[in-house]
Amino acid sequence: MIALKDSSASVVHVGVRRQCYYCPVRARAPCGGLRDTNSLERLDLAHTLPRRVAPGATVVAPGERAASTYTVLNGWVALIDTLKDGQMVIHHFALPGDVIPLELLGDQSTRSAVAVGEATVCAFTPASHQRLRREDGLYDARYQAAIARELHYAYDHFADIALASAAERVAKLLWGLSVRSLHRRPLASDLIPAPLNQIQIGLATGLTAVHVSRTLKQLREQNLITFEDHMIGIDNPRAVERFTGASADLMDMWM
């Protein structure tokens, strides 16, 4: 299960500044539009050293004011809501190149950001991020597009929990994560690494771990999707795409 740990004790500076020019996820991140030398130098100075976050450790804890805007460089980060009864709901997974924006966390929120497996993030302080947005219109436009995309993910996700069957929820979650990881439609031969367990799938789909287990068995028996040893296998991509009912707009966002 996702464990919330003290972020100050669990987040470690990598130690060597990652030059933005060579960043492997920059093309997918809001900063991907910055290409000239001056812009990249300004970008490199604006963010902190990359930080390694231990599995299950918090990037932002519930009720804590998010001090930075983060970009995921490696690994996955779950955005979690804690309900009044203490129950946790994962409403989104941020993958490499995705942002964890202040706008989605709030000043005094019940929402947290937690590493799923080991993750690495780079951060902008609010002041440096606002300056970057003000000075570079292309970055600001891409950042706003990223915010809109995250909000669209969240809306679609909660609509699925309210309306879709258990099998449709689990299939769409795993299908969407596969498309987002590969940046294309999966093939039947693909095995997609996914640092998830059945409890986390349940938190993301509103199901118990037992229900998730039965649903995964059902999807496997229908030759749609397999999930074993932290790997997603799409057995029949065309059938899975039809089964999940993912819209063309959502597929474009995922890719």
pLDDT beyond 50 at 4? no
How many domains in the chain? 2
Residues 209 and 138 in one domain: no
Residue 125 lies in a domain: yes
Are the C-beta atoms of residues 173 and 204 closer than 8 Å to each other?
A: yes
Residue 2 lies in a domain: no
Residue 49 is part of a domain; what is its CATH number?
A: 2.60.120.10
Are the C-beta atoms of residues 202 and 209 closer than 8 Å to each other?
A: yes
Average pLDDT, integer, range 112-119 = 92
Boundary-marking domain end, from 160, 186, 203? 160
Residues 52 and 144 in one domain: yes
Boundary-marking domain end, from 118, 137, 160? 160
Residues 90 and 17 in one domain: yes
* Residue 225 vs residue 2, higher pLDDT: 225
pLDDT at 153: 79
* Residue 50 vs residue 194, higher pLDDT: 194
Residue 66 lies in a domain: yes
pLDDT per residue over 215-246, tens digit each? 999 999 999 999 999 999 999 999 998 998 87
Residue 231 is part of a domain; what is its CATH number?
A: 1.10.10.10
Structural domain including 92 reads: 7-160
pLDDT beyond 50 at 254? yes
pLDDT at 173: 94
* Residue 251 vs residue 229, higher pLDDT: 229
Question: Taking the CB of residue 202, how many other CB atoms lie within 10 A of it?
Answer: 22
pLDDT per residue over 129-182, tens digit each? 888 888 888 889 998 888 888 778 777 877 888 888 999 999 999 999 999 999
- Average pLDDT taken over every residue of the chain: 83
Residues 21 and 101 in one domain: yes
pLDDT beyond 80 at 9? no
pLDDT beyond 90 at 8? no
Question: Which residue's structure tokens are 């940046």?
Answer: 183
Which helix (H) or strand (E) segment is 237 a member of? Answer: helix 237-244
Residues 209 and 189 in one domain: yes
pLDDT beyond 60 at 104? no
pLDDT beyond 80 at 102? no
Boundary-marking domain end, from 145, 160, 175? 160
Average pLDDT, integer, range 74-89 = 86
Are the C-beta atoms of residues 133 and 145 closer than 8 Å to each other?
A: no
Which residues are bridge partners to 119 per DSSP?
A: 53
Residues 62 and 125 in one domain: yes
For the chain, percent of residues with pLDDT exceeding 90: 41
Residues 128 and 206 in one domain: no
Residues 72 and 18 in one domain: yes
* Residue 88 vs residue 72, higher pLDDT: 72
Q: Rounded to whole angstroms, how far apart are CA atoms 175 and 168? A: 10
Residues 130 and 48 in one domain: yes
